């Protein structure tokens, strides 16, 4: 009798562990299906035309996506220029000044919540703030909407990275009479710079793939444009339009563009992960040495 229950328990154990193994396989299955499809459908349509020509008229098998690549680059870079400093400033304050203040810790938690707020909301807000007053869609509104998405990401990661800097380093700076701003500039930021860079890369990766905030801010454009106050094409919105269209040629271009975009983002993600890994290892080693 006892032997049977033991056997039963052992079997249940094996079965349940196997099921959780299957769960991991299930997750990986989707990843490989999606990336595989992108590779198979996208890679073969990457050619020079894609990068050197503007969109052709619908239905004809000519044209590329130059305006979308250029527009996407401009919008993302501008968003990064606006978003990174603000996020950095806030993150530094949360970590260095607001550490013991309940008010600023509450603000930090709010920022953390803002990371997960639906991105389409930013689009709606910028539509009200910049598109309606100017009477037409413009690239600037799109950039600011993306910057608004980026600020919380940057400030949360900056805060976490600065927290990894050992407190003894700060005390050493104070001990030789440094002001707080000197300590932050020369000690904290210097030792956390790889971590902060990681945060920036993650932030760029996050906004590079966004479509929803651009739908009704920077809208779309079939021609190359550098005017920030005019509609500007972006890769994501163009992919959306092309994939929804009935033309095979446009579908193929959408796959090619998706391939470029996704693998660019995955590349950023992997770099960030690699940097982060090294950083954490570095501090773990350091604190172990200190303990000795």
Partner 1 sequence: MNSLTEKNFLIEKFTKYFLGFWAIFTGFIFPFTIFFILLYESRLAIKHFGIVHFLTSTDWDPVKESFGALPMIAGTLISTFIAILISAPVSIGIAIFVTEIAPRWLKGIVVSAIELLAAIPSIIYGMWGFLILAGVMRNKVEPFLQKIFGPIPIIGKFFAGTPTGVDVLTTSLVLSIMIIPFMASVVKDAFNLVPGVMKESAYGLGATKWEVIKDVVIPYTASGIAGGLILSTGRALGETMAVTFLAGNVPQVPTSLLQPFTTITVALANQFTEADTPLYLSSLFYLSLFLFAISFIILIIAKLMVLRIEKKWKK
From candidates 106, 229, 280, 284, binder to partner 1 by CB under 8 A: 106
For the window 15-34, what string marks contact with partner 1 as x by the rule CB under 8 A?
Answer: -xx-xxxxxx-xxx-xx--x
From candidates 65, 141, 196, 216, binder to partner 1 by CB under 8 A: 216
Q: Is 152 in the site for partner 1 (CB under 8 A)?
A: yes
Q: CA angle at residue 223 from 217 to 226, to 5 degrees?
A: 65
In the complex, the smallest distance separating the C-beta of residue 138 from partner 1, rounded to whole angstroms, is 14
In the complex, the smallest distance separating the C-beta of residue 140 from partner 1, rounded to whole angstroms, is 17
254 and 228 Cβ atoms separated by less than 8 Å: no
233 and 220 Cβ atoms separated by less than 8 Å: yes
Number of residues that bind partner 1 (CB under 8 A): 87
Where in 117-146 is the site for partner 1 (CB under 8 A)? 117-125, 127-129
Where in 82-101 is the site for partner 1 (CB under 8 A)? 86-87, 89-90, 92-94, 96-98
E-assigned strands of 168-252? Answer: none
- List, in order, residues 6 or more apart from 79 with CB less than 8 Å away: 142, 143, 144, 145, 146, 147, 150, 207
Half-sphere exposure of 106 (CA within 13 A, CB side): 3
In the complex, the smallest distance separating the C-beta of residue 153 from partner 1, rounded to whole angstroms, is 11
- Phi/psi region, residue 264 (left: phi>0; alpha: psi -120 to 50; beta: rest), is alpha
In the complex, the smallest distance separating the C-beta of residue 239 from partner 1, rounded to whole angstroms, is 6
Q: Is 44 in the site for partner 1 (CB under 8 A)?
A: no
In the complex, the smallest distance separating the C-beta of residue 50 from partner 1, rounded to whole angstroms, is 17
214 and 146 Cβ atoms separated by less than 8 Å: yes
């Amino acid at each position: 009798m006892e032997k049977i229950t033991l056997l039963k328990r052992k079997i249940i154990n094996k079965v349940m562990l196997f099921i959780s193994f299957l769960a991991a396989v299930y997750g990986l299955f989707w990843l490989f299906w999606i990336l595989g499809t992108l590779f198979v459908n996208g890679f073969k349509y990457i050619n020079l035309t894609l990068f050197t020509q503007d969109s052709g008229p619908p239905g004809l098998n000519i044209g590329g996506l130059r305006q979308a690549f250029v527009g996407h680059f401009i919008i993302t870079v501008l968003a990064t220029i606006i978003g990174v400093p603000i996020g950095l400033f806030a993150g530094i304050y949360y970590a260095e000044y607001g550490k013991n203040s309940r008010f600023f810790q509450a603000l930090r938690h709010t920022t953390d919540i803002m990371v997960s707020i639906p991105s389409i909301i930013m689009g709606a807000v910028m539509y009200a703030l910049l598109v309606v007053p100017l009477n037409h869609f413009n690239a600037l509104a799109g950039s600011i909407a993306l910057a608004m998405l980026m600020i919380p990401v940057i400030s949360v990661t900056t805060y976490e990275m600065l927290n990894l800097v050992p407190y003894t380093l700060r005390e050493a700076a104070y001990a030789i009479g440094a002001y707080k701003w000197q300590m932050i500039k020369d000690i904290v930021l210097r030792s956390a710079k790889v971590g902060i860079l990681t945060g920036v890369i993650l932030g760029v990766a996050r906004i590079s793939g966004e479509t929803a905030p651009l739908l009704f801010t920077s809208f779309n454009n079939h021609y190359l444009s550098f005017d920030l106050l005019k509609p500007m094409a972006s890769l994501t919105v163009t992919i959306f339009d092309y994939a929804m269209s009935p033309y095979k040629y446009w579908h193929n271009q959408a796959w090619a563009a998706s391939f470029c975009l996704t693998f660019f983002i995955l590349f950023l993600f992997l770099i960030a992960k690699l940097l982060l890994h090294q950083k954490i290892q570095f501090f773990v080693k350091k604190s172990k040495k200190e303990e000795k």
